[in-house]
Amino acid sequence: MNARRLELVCPAGTPAALRAAIDAGADSVYCGFRDRTNARNYPGLNFDFAELVEGVAYAHARGRKVLVAINTFPPAGDLAPWRRAVDQAAEARVDAVILADIGVLAYATAAHPQLRRHLSVQASAANAPSIHYYRDHFDVRRVVLPRVLSIDELRALIAEAGVETEVFAFGSVGPMSEGRCFLSSYFCGVSPTSEGACAPAERVSYLERDGRVHSRLGEVTLNTFSPGEPAAYPTPCKGRYLTHGRATYLFEEPVALNALGILAELAEAGVTALKIEGRQRSRAYVTEVVGTFRRALDALQGETPAGAEPQQLRREGEGGRETLGAYRRGWR
Amino acid sequence: MRPSRAISRLPEGIATTEDRQDGATPLALLKILGIAMPRPAAAFAAKRLFESLGRGHPQLLANLAALEEREVHVLPAELPYGFALRTGPRPQLRVIGRGEGQADAAVEASAAVLTDLIEGRIDSDTLFFRRDLQVTGNTAAIVGLRNALDRETIRLGAEIAAALGPLGPLARRLAHSIEPALGRWELRARTLQRALSPPLRTSDPALTAEVERCRAEVAALTARLGRIEARQQRREERAP
């Protein structure tokens, strides 16, 4: 079967992960600077300018691309770090910047008109007028679509969008209010959209008590896991809350999106690129997930005989379970 | 050269020490350090190892120094003692007894899992989800340490051998020769443990894990069903 070629966009939290992603078959790698200008601001993660320059050289030498996420929202009166990040990305000759805030978009458009701009999922543009606004005002060439659309909705939106589209194919899923979720800030006092970390590691702790793991965010226990039960990050949207005396997942369950089984449908719907989530994960994860998707995409192109089994990546995902999320809205 | 053998129980497809073709035997070397060496000698070897790592990977030391000042205890489950790694301006590694010293955070797993983690062959979050890695305390300290290690390519077998200086080649040969015996001994110990356990004993980790997975699945399905029912009820209430 020869389907439309899908670009494989892969995460890199470190230069080693960037090289691992390229070596495993990524077409593009996205990364961020070591500060709050991107949505994965965790200790020891991300790139400084010199590392980014080296990463770009490594990718370009192999015909691949590097995209830089500068996708958080500057607080009032504090645009300087975001401007600096855009300037440094341009100076490092990256292939595109992934932006969300309209002020940052306006700055990038004015200061670096030749620098390709993608719209981050954090901007939460999920309808044609919204996408057209970013396209017409900031010459956005690609939009990363929020994880709220079914395949049919994707197909319809892509027909109207007038720009390239990138959709999530693997990784953690949120409560379907991308870029607009402040749940974590109620627990930590830190805004995930301007500080770049939902459930920042500084506020997360795990306790072992009576054979159970208790995961805590700030002073709040968000979940407990019995021995052997698959664990999850203590993000508020995936907490287990007591309602009517029963502990249950109210917003979202700890599951991982895995679109390996519907790649042909996504290609047919007109998607340009597939995004793998997980800049906070290690290079071993990057190698495993990117390699599996590369094999599946090559098989889809008819370049290799067999693709990957959809369940092959189950162990990599949060909670040890998978979902097709909104792509198959059986629950709607 | 002979590849080393894995003793850990890892799922199919995840790279383990079995896949090594470089002749290094980090697991066996670690176990020699842990079992055969008296603590002062192991402490000396750990100090030499850290100095050697610093020389071979100056960026690793710089990355550890850039982190907040914290002490993380790394506890290989099979060894009689663990390692205290200090991050911050003066990174340091020392050997500690079980329960000794005040840690900001602790990581516990089998020596094989820890070895694979240090070498970047396995993902720590995946291990954590599967409960093969026990993490307690300040998560930022652990995340920072994991990311600092993940930036470097470390071959622990070669590093341990280098740290042992002239004894390195001897230790490596010894590791090669005892590794199969170590594997057989551990397999026997596990078989014996299983034989002594009553059938369907719930402390069997695999069975417990399966039961818990099923419980979680049922709980999730029940919750989902509840939501569907509630939605249906609202719909019916709204219907004329």
Q: In what order do the strands lie in the sheet with B92-97?
A: A220-225, A212-217, A204-209, B134-138, B105-109, B70-76, B81-87, B92-97
| Residues 141-170, chain B, touching A (beta carbon < 8 A) | 141-148, 150-153
The span from the CA of A220 to the CA of A204, in Å, is 10
B166 and B215 in a single domain? The answer is no
pLDDT mean across residues, chain B: 74
Q: What is the pLDDT of residue B204?
A: 57
* pLDDT higher than 80, residue B198: no
pLDDT at B22: 46
Residue B123 shares a structural domain with residue B43: yes
Comparing B5 with B134, the larger pLDDT belongs to: B134
Which residues of chain A does B129 touch, with a Cβ-Cβ cutoff of 8 Å? Answer: 230-232, 315, 317-320
Buried b (16+ CB within 10 A) or exposed e, A224-258: bbbbbbbbbbbbbbbbbeeeeeeebbbbbbbbbbb
List of chain A residues with pLDDT < 50: none
The number of folded domains in chain B is 2
Domain identity same for B121 and B238: no
- Looking up tokens 């892969």, which residue turns up? A10
The pLDDT value given to residue A310: 62
pLDDT in tens, B65-87: 999 999 999 998 888 889 999 99
Please tell me the distance from the alpha carbon of residue B54 to that of residue B48, in angstroms, as a whole number.
10
> Which residue type occupies A316?
E
Give one DSSP letter per residue of B113-160, joined into a string: HHHHHHTT-S-HHHHHHHTSSEEEEEHHHHHHHHHHHHTS---HHHHH
- Give the pLDDT score at B11: 35
Confidence category of residue B44, pLDDT binned at 50, 70, 90: confident
Give the residue from A199, A229, A200, A201 showing the smallest Cα distance to A213.
Answer: A229
At A154 the three-state DSSP class reads helix
Residue B86: Cβ within 10 Å count = 17
Q: Do B228 and A281 touch (CB under 8 A)?
A: no
For residue B40, pLDDT beyond 90: no
Judge if B143 and B232 occupy the same domain.
no
Contacts of A280 in chain B (CB under 8 A): 125, 143
Residues of A in contact with B228 (CB under 8 A): 331
Please check whether residue B60 lies inside any domain of the structure.
Answer: yes
Range of the domain at B211: 199-240
Which residues of chain A have a CB within 8 Å of the CB of B130?
Answer: 230-231, 315, 320
Test A45 with B147 for CB contact under 8 angstroms.
yes
Smallest Cβ–Cβ distance between B153 and the set A16, A229, A280 belongs to: A16
In this structure, the answer to whether residues B99 and B203 fall within a common structural domain is no
Residues in chain B: 240
Q: What is the pLDDT of residue B180?
A: 61
In a domain, B38, yes or no: yes
Q: pLDDT at position B3, please?
A: 30
Residue B104 maps to which CATH number? 3.30.1050.10
DSSP conformation letters of B179-203: HHHHHHHHHHHHHHHHHHSPTT-TT
Summarize pLDDT for B152-189 with one digit per residue, the tens. 988 887 887 777 766 666 666 666 665 566 556 555 65
B208 in any annotated domain: yes
Closest C-alpha to B74, from B52, B56, B96: B96
**pLDDT for res A199:** 86
Q: Which domains does chain A have, with CATH numbers?
A: 7-173+255-327 (3.20.20.70), 183-249 (no CATH)
Give contacts of B 9-68 with A, CB under 8 A: 11, 13-15, 63, 66-68
Same domain? B171 vs B217: no
Asked if A179 contacts A120 with a C-beta cutoff of 8 angstroms, the reply is: yes
DSSP A19-55: HHHHHHT-SEEEE-BSSTTSS---TT-SB-HHHHHHH
Tell me, yes or no, whether B209 and B155 share the same domain. Answer: no
Tell me what percent of the residues of chain B surpass a pLDDT of 70.
59
Look at A130-134, A306-310, B92-96, B126-130 and tell me which has the smallest mean pLDDT: A306-310
Query: DSSP string covering A58-99, please?
Result: HHHHTT-EEEEEE-S-PPTT--HHHHHHHHHHHHTT-SEEEE
B52 against B20, higher pLDDT: B52
User: Looking at the complex, does the CB of residue A48 fall below 8 Å from at least one CB of chain B?
Assistant: no
**CB < 8 Å to A316, chain B:** 123, 126
Task: State how far residue A149 is from chain B, nearest Cα, in angstroms.
Answer: 19
Residues B150 and B222 in one domain: no
Answer yes or no: is B7 within a domain.
no
